[in-house]
Amino acid sequence: MNGRSTDIAIAGGGLAGGLIALALRQARPDLAVTVVESGETLGGNHRWSWFATDLDDAGTALLDHFEPARWNGYSVRFPALSRELSTPYRSLSSAAFDRELRRLLPREAIRTSCPIAALDAAGIVLSGGERIAARMVIDARGIDAAPSLAGGWQVFMGRHLRTRVPHGLDRPIIMDAAVAQHGAYRFVYTLPLTPDELFVEDTYYADSPALDPAVLAPRIDRYCARNGWEGATVAEETGVLPVITGGNFAAFQAAHRTPGVAVAGARGGFAHPLTSYTLPFAAETALAIAGSADLPGPTLADLLEGRARDHWQNTIFYRRLGRMLFGAGAADDRYKIFERFYRLPHPLIERFYAARSTRLDQARVLLGKPPVPVLGAMRALATAGPSLARAAA
């Protein structure tokens, strides 16, 4: 079936694909860009959060188009530590992401409810047979499994709650690990969206990708009840993200490579290995693509592959920490690594989340009395961990 043509076709309308489309629209409004998304909305059902210090000025300007929720600090809680930090914090819902992209992009630039059957360097074929021809194709679809990589899983369930009375929380609690651990590094993450709305997420750094809402929902109920937060559920979300501790990155790239097609987002390997954050890297990649929009598609594909290899090399430290988190001690004691980490200087913590830790930062994280058994840490560092082939839903 004959379709239409565009300058740049983006497969996947999630965070990475949407930011690429917006960056191109801002930098090169003369180009026709088409985002093709299999779901009904752009961004799916997610919430992305980040520290203001994760982004440079250009990245901040890009995300400010969405008018994210803002706070001037956050807190953390552990069994032996509570701390308030002043780093500004931001959060964006996928509903706002979809709404603003539809406002900022031309109507013809967005194709939702369009499953992709195939793609190549010259276009995208939809499941109904329609072909969208393009000068450049960017694959920003996510990944479900990565058998060539190793690590564990970040499993979470989030709830948007409207409370009957004002909840009284004025800043996010990004880690409350003073809770029962249940065989993982567990913490509860809470965002005060409005005086009577909260987003509460129960998160686990777990050995398995198994996620059972019937187990997690009552735990959120109990946590909210303990804090006196009662009200109606507005929405819920669940997710499973890889926490990468090692593996064969060349094989990962080969498995997701289509000749001549540029690969972005998590599919391209642009994520923080330990936190699974993708937003800072998605913004950085989107701006890089917008600045290289006149390149031939295969040249851009090679450019992004090189950036991804550099990112992999530059984030070795975080994968090593992940090995210790998952492999050095008992699962219920994993929280001690972050409890110790949050005693470190504030600027170091900011650089850690932005994946810009200096050599001195790395030494300060590792030196001193270890929060895990030394022999266990040595054994953990000697192996990359289990494959991230997704064995459970």
Nearest 5 degrees, angle CA 57-CA 60-CA 63? 155
pLDDT at 392: 43
Residue 127 to residue 115: CA distance in whole angstroms? 6
Residue 310 CA: distances (Å) to CA of 200, 282, 317, 332, 378: 35, 15, 13, 34, 26
Q: Are 73 and 171 spatial neighbours (Cβ–Cβ below 8 Å)?
A: yes
368: left (phi over 0), alpha (psi -120 to 50) or beta: left
Is the pLDDT score of 328 beyond 80? Answer: no
| pLDDT tens column, 39-51 | 999 999 999 999 9
Residue 147 CA: distances (Å) to CA of 133, 263, 326, 389: 32, 18, 18, 4
Instruction: Give the confidence band of 386 by pLDDT, cuts at 50, 70, 90.
Output: confident
Beta bridge mates, 49: 91
Structure-block tokens of residue 199: 């987003």
Q: Would you list the domain boundaries of the chain?
A: 5-69+89-145+245-314, 147-243
Q: Which CATH number applies to 147-243?
A: 3.30.9.10
pLDDT at 249: 97
Average pLDDT for the chain: 93
Is the pLDDT score of 374 beyond 50? Answer: no
pLDDT at 147: 93
The model's pTM is 0.94
Residue 24 to residue 78: CA distance in whole angstroms? 43
| pLDDT tens column, 195-214 | 999 999 999 999 999 999 99
Is the pLDDT score of 292 beyond 90? Answer: yes
| pLDDT tens column, 113-150 | 999 999 999 999 999 999 999 999 999 998 877 899 99
Q: How many helices (H) and strands (E) does the chain have?
A: 12, 18
| pLDDT tens column, 334-343 | 999 999 999 9
| 5-69+89-145+245-314 homologous superfamily | FAD/NAD(P)-binding domain (3.50.50.60)
Is the pLDDT score of 2 beyond 80? Answer: no
Q: State percent of the chain over pLDDT 70.
A: 94
User: What is the residue type of 85?
Assistant: L
Structure-block tokens of residue 147: 């058998």
Is the pLDDT score of 371 beyond 70? Answer: no
- Which one is predicted more confidently, 237 or 327? 237
Is the pLDDT score of 104 beyond 80? Answer: yes
Residue 9 to residue 33: CA distance in whole angstroms? 6
What's the burial of 269, exposed, middle or buried (CB within 10 Å: 0-12/13-18/19+)? buried
Q: What is the pLDDT averaged over residues 76-81?
A: 98
- Which one is predicted more confidently, 380 or 253? 253
Nearest 5 degrees, angle CA 72-CA 74-CA 76? 170
